[in-house]
Amino acid sequence: MDPLKALADAERKPYWLDTPARPEPLPRLFGHTSADLVVVGGGFSGLWTALLAKERDPEQDVVLLEGRRIGWAASGRNGGFCMATLTHGLANGLERWPDEIARLERLGVDNLDEIEATLGRYGIDCAFERTGELNVATEPWQLEGLNEHLGLIADLGLDHVPLDRDQVRAELDSPTYLGGLWDRRGCAMLDPARLAWGLREACLRLGVRVYERSPVRSLEDDGVTLSLRTPHGVASGRRVALGTGVFPPLLRRLRHFVVPVYDYALMTEPLTPSQLGALGWRNRQGVGDSANRFHYYRLTEDNRILWGGYDAVYYNGGLVKPEYDQRDETFTTLARHFFATFPQLAGVRFTHRWGGVIDTCSRFSAFYGQAHGGRLAYAAGYTGMGVGATRFGANVMLDLLSGERTERTELRMVKEKPVPFPPEPMRSGVIQFTRWSIAQADRHEGRRNLWLRALDRMGLGFDS
Ligand SMILES: Cc1cc2nc3c(=O)[nH]c(=O)nc-3n(C[C@H](O)[C@H](O)[C@H](O)COP(=O)(O)OP(=O)(O)OC[C@H]3O[C@@H](n4cnc5c(N)ncnc54)[C@H](O)[C@@H]3O)c2cc1C
């Protein structure tokens, strides 16, 4: 199938946001307002923080300021894999916090269970399906990686099922598969935009005052109150939580730790019953392949396939720009890989193509902290796995702001910071060389060059 033909009519916008169900924006902030807690950012980080703050103390007054529209950024345009992991996967967590891994895995599963319970409690319909995730190997060297931690996985009580070639192809039929590992409980599929809008609605029901199209331009501290200035108003609070992702931060120090990495995705038209039948896929798992440059893919509620990943692009200079949301070279590559994986789908067309920006940090999992004498908290750096983990990060921010010591605040993962990226222009050079090295490793049976091995030894890397 010619990838260009399959892409010819694809709209250049995120599929999830392209629906009449998208709610009208809420009013901008005009004039001065004050609150006990002001949350900045209307992605999952900010929404969960506002919601959980109200659940903890319904009496406190909470304001949320979103610069554009709720869920317009990463939160409304991602793959919708809502993962239990808080550490960008077990292997990364094990590498960095081996002594905490059992606790981190348990906290992650609890977090996912609580997300599921919250959806039920507020009646949020975001097509949540706890199907788990199927990790597949498409090259012999990847099989070893899949099976590396099986003993530990069993000891941790996680429900993972190893699958040989025939078994994995019975779950989902691709001639490229050599084996797989099905994590049956640690991941759910959902519609991320509907989750964001549902959280917005739940926040409003609990009395959070949400302002959209109200970008915070500056933050001032008079020693007691923090004041956040938007184009038409000011919100003052005793406490502030930042859930601003990868965007130019209100706290300068965050610049050193987070870089914008662009990730791209395609959406097909709905599959017919016979096309779906040709795949199997009865259990509807999310799927990830196991190269360093990996694809992720899944079914939607109406049986389209979302197909994304592979290229994780850092644009030299590290800016966030609307024109970076489209990258034809990557869309063509993704389409080519799609038909190589599923030749039985020749003739299927794509309806949407889009990109989005990820807040990557050098340890691949979020970091947390405080400023302004403990009155401001932040969480950032989710590196492509924040759909579920942002709820945990929101709880960490609220713990930190309350001054309480909790199981979460005592974690090394929470207390430690990632290694900062060097400043530009060195930053671009280092990242592009690392991206090149990663691509080379995939071409040479996973063998990592001297540079990647040195980074591994220092616990550093680049991922999406
Ligand atoms: C293409 C793509 C696919 C992905 N797939 C997955 C996946 O399948 N599973 C997964 O777990 N993760 C995935 N991710 C990552 C995931 O989407 C993010 O980790 C998560 O959404 C981060 O949420 P956030 O609220 O921190 O950031 P964002 O969603 O980026 O929200 C930040 C918000 O803050 C607002 N803001 C910033 N600065 C200001 C300011 N000064 N004033 C007011 N508002 C401000 C922005 O307007 C924005 O709305 C993917 C990301 C992309 C781009």
Q: Are 42 and 210 in contact (CB under 8 A)?
A: yes
Any ligand 1 atom below 6 A from CB of 356: yes
Any ligand 1 atom below 6 A from CB of 281: no
Q: How far, in Å, are 180, 365, 446 from residue 93 at the CA level?
A: 21, 9, 20
Could you tell me which of 53, 73, 66 has the C-alpha nearest to residue 208?
53
Pull the structure tokens for residue 344: 């039985």
What secondary structure does DSSP assign to 90-117, as a single string? HHHHHHH-GGGHHHHHHHHHHHHHHHHH
Calpha distance 425→432 (Å, rounded)? 11
For residue 136, give the H/E element and its range.
strand 133-137
Count CB-CB contacts under 10 A for residue 245.
Answer: 26
What atom of ligand 1 comes closest to residue 79's alpha carbon? 8
Calpha distance 318→335 (Å, rounded)? 27
Burial class (CB in 10 A: 0-12, 13-18, 19+), 341: buried
What atom of ligand 1 comes closest to residue 72's alpha carbon? 49
The predicted model gives 115-128 an average pLDDT of: 98
Tens digits of per-residue pLDDT, 158-181? Answer: 999 999 999 999 999 999 999 999
Q: How far is the CA of 300 from the centre of ligand 1 (A)?
A: 20
Residue whose entry in the numeric block shows the structure tokens 């990647």:
452
Tens digits of per-residue pLDDT, 260-286? Answer: 999 999 999 999 999 999 999 999 999
For residue 305, give the H/E element and its range.
strand 305-313
Whether pLDDT at 455 is above 90: no
The predicted model gives 177-190 an average pLDDT of: 97
- Counting residues of the chain whose pLDDT is more than 70, the rounded percentage is 100
Calpha distance 403→367 (Å, rounded)? 17
Any ligand 1 atom below 6 A from CB of 111: no
Pull the structure tokens for residue 389: 């983990």
Tens digits of per-residue pLDDT, 34-57? Answer: 999 999 999 999 999 999 999 999
SS3 432: helix
